[in-house]
Structure 1
Amino acid sequence: MNASASSLPFAQGGVDTHAHVFERGLPLSGERRYAPAYGATLSDYLPLLNAHGMTHAVLVQPSFLGTDNRYLLQALSVHAERLRGVAVVAPSVTEDELADLQRRGVTGIRLNLMEQALPELGAQPWTSLFDNVARLGWHVELHRNAVDLAPIIDRLLDRSVRVVVDHFGRPDPALGTQDRGFKALLGYGKTGRVWVKVSGAYRCATPASTFVLDAMAQLIEQFGSERLMWGSDWPHTQFEAVMGYGESLSTLLGAGLDAAALDAILRTTALSFYGFDVEPVAHDSSATARFATRDVS
């Protein structure tokens, strides 16, 4: 099954909450784990959205670009009504810089902590950053192996921050839903402050496993479909040879969910969470000029 717009339980209006755009030749972070040898531009991505019934999307800053959010901001400026962004910032970022990002369509920050030493998130300058994020009504998107998630989520919830957990929580593919970190993640459903992206299943499951069926059943039981959101994880970095946009959508559509659950996961939750149901903010040309000449740090 290779899903298209006709596969959706609604005519149009889906939201892809996790995709990346970039070009070859952009300055790369010195701390990158990986960088693709190709470009994945907005002009490549938008036709995929259209073909699969997605009217809105959330662009997530790629880890290999670090805190240089300029390309992300440029992409957001093309379709302010259709796109939102999740930026990567240094913990020392100022409140004014975050406000500039908000005016450009950014609604949260990402902590991509894969294969990194865990920072002391309960100390300065992290606590001030999270307090500023909370004041803006933003969220922190968290990417880390499942076994390490719980103490990080606790730190974020202590600062009254909404938390979005990437890629099913990244359980060990050999363990799937038996990963103790995944089991611990389920316990946060009762908080009402944690959302989970059901995206990138190929990063946390072995081929031909029942992981998606098992994980979706448990996540819906503990979180409710209203706090789960789908993302394509396009362009499926490091998995390009085995995954495409339609296949990624089919992974969810093949999980046997009812129409109401699919509508929440694919549409209504994300439309509200990322502010697509409000008027887009005005374009700030002075902010554009500043971001064109310096990194956000």
Structure 2
Amino acid sequence: MKTCLAPDANPVKPKHLLPEGSWDAHCHVFGPAAEFPFAADRSYTPPDAPFETLRTLHDHLGLSRGVIVQASCHGTDNRAMLDAIARSEGRYRGVAIVDGSETDQQLAEMDAGGVRGVRFNFVAHLGGAPDLEVFDSTVDRLADFGWHVVLHLDAQDILTYADRLTRIPVPFIIDHMGRVKAQEGIEQPSFEALQQLMENPLAWVKVCGAERVSVGRRPFHDAVPFAERLIQIAPERVLWGTDWPHPNITKDMPNDGELVDLMCDFCTDPQLRQKLLVDNPMKLYGR
């Protein structure tokens, strides 16, 4: 089992002032493990990354709101995420991981607790695709709650599951620009498929995870053309987040202040930045 590196404890102050009401639409809380143990079958162990540290980071970066995305190291035990939302006084919303056994009442309780979607991991290093029957049956239940589904895919999965993606009946979000690889260029088949997918009015994408797309080292400028293209294609359905505390980073730990400035580099138009950081996340998470 891999032990993850800690995030950069000294984020720089961003050079840019963000729009009022800006969201970090993809971040995590981990533990504290003494209170919220990690899943026994996890593929990695992160350092504790509690609510208090996340809140302090967001204050430093100028981010008003946040979406706490349940990560695989906690499995379907969503208590750490729900606890953080409850303590945030309305500042945070959440995306849960479920196993399909949840009752309508349990999902309704999650909704009351600030959950607005569920996440499925397909990536190989986290165990590969989920049970697709559970996936299909769960997705079919989300509309009743006004929820969406978040898909953490490897780049090839965009092609492998293309037909299934077109059948999703609720809004769905592709994490981290589909984890395409910058070294394979803007015309790689997976990125072309992602661009085609964004013609679907239910498809959203997060233009974050530059450190996962990049072949280089921080500040990961080789990821910029991919983010720019996705914003151009679907300006009303793009989101951005820090991905703090950056689990499973092995090559170069990002600095979260630099990530804010990188986002400002690939989204220079103030009107588009307003959509990316404020208007778009409000559509999915504002209630």
Calculate the TM-score normalised by the size of structure 1: 0.83
Q: Secondary structure at the match of 2:227?
A: helix
1:68 partnered with 2:77: yes
Q: Secondary structure at the match of 1:31?
A: coil
Identity %: 32
Match of 1:146 among 144, 150, 155: 155
Pick closer, same or farther for the CA change 1:226–1:159 going to 2, 3 Å: closer
CA contact (8 A) 2:238 2:280 kept: yes
Match of 2:171 among 146, 150, 162: 162
Note the 1:32-51 alignment, pairs <5 A: 32-36=42-46, 38-51=47-60
1:268 partnered with 2:279: yes
Q: Which residue of 1 aligns with 2:181?
A: 172
1:20 partnered with 2:28: yes
Q: Which residue of 2 aligns with 1:288?
A: none
Looking at structure 1, the residues matched to 249 and 256 of structure 2 have their Cα atoms a distance apart, in angstroms, of: 12
Looking at structure 2, the residues matched to 152 and 48 of structure 1 have their Cα atoms a distance apart, in angstroms, of: 36
Looking at structure 2, the residues matched to 265 and 51 of structure 1 have their Cα atoms a distance apart, in angstroms, of: 19
Structure 1, unmatched stretches of 5+, are 279-297
Give 1:17's aligned amino acid: A
Looking at structure 2, the residues matched to 252 and 159 of structure 1 have their Cα atoms a distance apart, in angstroms, of: 29
Calculate the TM-score normalised by the size of structure 2: 0.86
Q: CA deviation at 1:114?
A: 1.3
Pick closer, same or farther for the CA change 1:90–1:34 going to 2, 3 Å: same
Give 1:193's aligned amino acid: L
Q: CA deviation at 1:191?
A: 1.2
Give 1:215's aligned amino acid: F
Q: Deviations over 1:7-64 (max 9, x none)?
A: 1353x2110001111123443223322112x211111111111122211000011211
Q: Secondary structure at the match of 2:183?
A: coil
Looking at structure 1, the residues matched to 150 and 231 of structure 2 have their Cα atoms a distance apart, in angstroms, of: 20
Q: CA deviation at 1:153?
A: 5.7
Give 1:15's aligned amino acid: W
Looking at structure 2, the residues matched to 35 and 56 of structure 1 have their Cα atoms a distance apart, in angstroms, of: 26
Looking at structure 2, the residues matched to 119 and 41 of structure 1 have their Cα atoms a distance apart, in angstroms, of: 27
CA contact (8 A) 2:76 2:97 kept: yes
Q: Which residue of 2 aligns with 1:98?
A: 107
Q: Deviations over 1:157-179 (max 9, x none)?
A: 42412110101110134324343
Aligned pair count? 270
Looking at structure 1, the residues matched to 95 and 149 of structure 2 have their Cα atoms a distance apart, in angstroms, of: 9
Pick closer, same or farther for the CA change 1:136–1:2 going to 2, 3 Å: same
CA contact (8 A) 1:17 1:230 kept: yes
Q: CA deviation at 1:68?
A: 0.6
Could you say what the CA RMSD is over the residues aligned between the two structures, in angstroms? Answer: 2.2
Q: Deviations over 1:109-133 (max 9, x none)?
A: 0001211343452x3x433211111
Pick closer, same or farther for the CA change 1:153–1:27 going to 2, 3 Å: farther
